[in-house]
Amino acid sequence: MKDLTKTSGHSYTVTDNEVPCVLPSPACGKGAEKRVKPAKGVHAALFAALAFIASGSCAQTPPPASPLTDTPFSAASTSRYPAELPPESAVRDALARLPELQAARANIDYSAAERRRLQSGPYEWNLRFDPARRKTRTDGNSNDYGISVERPLRWFGKAEKDQELGQQTMSLAELAYADAWHEAGRALLAAWFELLREEHAVLRVSEQVALSGQLLDGMQKRVRAGDTPKMELLLAQTETQRLIAVQQQATQRAGLARIALEHKYPGLPLPPSMTASSAPPLPDIPEGVESADWGARIISSNHELEQAQARARQKQLLAERGALERTPDPTVALRYTSERSGEDRIVGVAVSIPLPGEARRADHAGALAQLDQAQQEETRIRNKVEREARQLLTQAMAAKEIAATQARIRDQARNNAALVTKAYALGESSFTDILLVSRQALEATQAAETAHLDALETHARLLLDAHRIWNLEHEH
């Protein structure tokens, strides 16, 4: 009698006369069982192990009610936060501490100073003092001097246009910060699901390693008793070593993914390492992502497009400012002059106006060219954003179908494993058949879980790009 509870988290009691075979069925999550009589009691442990392989991760079947599926995935359901993601407040804190976000925040402060500079204008007051000594033949020598205060003046609406430019510069910096926040959220989302995928891969392979080890122990006893060919033992040993190598690789990848999250997002609560008994069920994949409104919502909330529009507006303002600059600004001076040691005192006003030349016309032509370039860039980015929005919606719909297909393949692989296991126990198939179907069952289970997580990630990305999660609190 052998208990397999320790390695799998599921209770299986095996005797030499009767072993449980959990066959895949719609009631798999309810633990549907069939009992069969093996041809050889010596293969009881093998039969139980392969039965567990056939059952796969039935414990991972999501419950009927999921936090993500109480209502269809629509505008009314977007307030529901995906259960597989870290707490939203923790995500906000982690993103706010990123160096790239701090740098973008500093750029807002710089733009605020730039706005004040533009509003103040490029001109300053100039104080001029001209001392002189006069020598005449008749009146002798005298001390003369002149004092003037002068300053160029912006006219023809240039001051108002500079104020608009300053405000546009500030808006660009704020949009750049919002875009940096969004891109950081995308990076965190991708890293988070990468960790989930690697953790689930480690979980599945670890289950197989434990079951293969139990199988190997039972076969060693049978070889010593002369009931099993040594060739089958060699095959079992090779398979166990192969699974151990796969487990080591999966553990390494999961460790690297966890380190990446821990170091880039310190303070972010990470999911605990999974075991068969502690792994939570995966949430259901939400419905209703085919709504066309999502595409419009993603496009209207896209910061990259908003930045392109803001840059085009800035270039338009610069072109308008360049057109005004073709008319030079006058310099107005208030002058006071003292001559002949104060005998003559003169107070006056001086006005000087530069004569415009080809350089000003060239500057205006260059500004118009930059405006055209910015407008073409806006068109390019708009097309790119619209294309990516449609691709994301298509991916969200396809991911659900792919996950359903992979789930059917997983169930079929479990059925095959159960049938081949039963045939082997009855002496109707070889041990190589057992190895083949067990590998197929493992690969199908991993592929189904990966496809399920891919669909959940696409759903979360849809919420993120539509600014339903992790968005800046002040951006709207």
Q: Which residue has the higher pLDDT, 279 or 422?
A: 422
pLDDT of res. 289: 62
At residue 223, does pLDDT exceed 90? no
pLDDT of res. 139: 72
Is 475 part of a structural domain of the chain? no
Domain span holding position 54:
2-465
Is 314 part of a structural domain of the chain? yes
- What is the average pLDDT value for the chain, to the nearest integer? 81
Categorize the per-residue pLDDT at 292 as very low, low, confident or very high, splitting at 50, 70 and 90: low
248 close to 29: Cβ distance less than 8 angstroms: no
Q: Distance between CA 75 and CA 180 in Å, rounded?
A: 25
Q: 339 - beta bridge partners?
A: 344
41 close to 34: Cβ distance less than 8 angstroms: no
**Average pLDDT in the 404-420 region?**
93
pTM of the model: 0.76
| C-alpha closest to that of 173 among 311, 299, 301 | 311
Q: How far does Cα 163 stand from its chain's mean position?
A: 36
2 close to 14: Cβ distance less than 8 angstroms: yes
pLDDT of res. 23: 33
Is 345 part of a structural domain of the chain? yes
Compute the C-alpha angle 148/151/154, nearest 5°. Answer: 160
Is 473 part of a structural domain of the chain? no
Q: Distance between CA 395 and CA 454 in Å, rounded?
A: 10
pLDDT in tens, 395-404: 988 999 999 9
Is 476 part of a structural domain of the chain? no
Q: Distance between CA 317 and CA 409 in Å, rounded?
A: 60
Q: What φ, ψ does residue 141 adopt, rounded to 5°?
A: -95, 150
At residue 1, does pLDDT exceed 80? no
User: Among 12-16, 224-228, 260-264, which range has the highest average pLDDT?
Assistant: 260-264
pLDDT in tens, 317-339: 999 999 998 889 999 999 999 88
**Average pLDDT in the 125-143 region?**
84
Q: Which residue blocks in 43-98 are alpha helix, DSSP H?
A: 44-55, 88-96
CATH number of the domain bearing residue 451: 1.20.1600.10
pLDDT in tens, 148-174: 999 999 988 899 999 999 999 999 999
Q: How far does Cα 180 stand from its chain's mean position?
A: 11
Q: 126 - beta bridge partners?
A: 150
**Average pLDDT in the 451-472 region?**
92
pLDDT of res. 63: 35
Q: How far does Cα 348 stand from its chain's mean position?
A: 67
Q: Distance between CA 293 and CA 298 in Å, rounded?
A: 9
Is 472 part of a structural domain of the chain? no
Is 161 part of a structural domain of the chain? yes
Is 471 part of a structural domain of the chain? no
| C-alpha closest to that of 192 among 110, 86, 72 | 86
pLDDT in tens, 189-208: 999 999 999 999 999 898 88
- CA of 366: how far to CAs of 128, 154, 309, in Å? 36, 21, 19
At residue 54, does pLDDT exceed 60? no
pLDDT of res. 305: 95
Q: Which two tokens stand for residue 267?
A: 């303070």
| Structural domains of the chain, count | 1
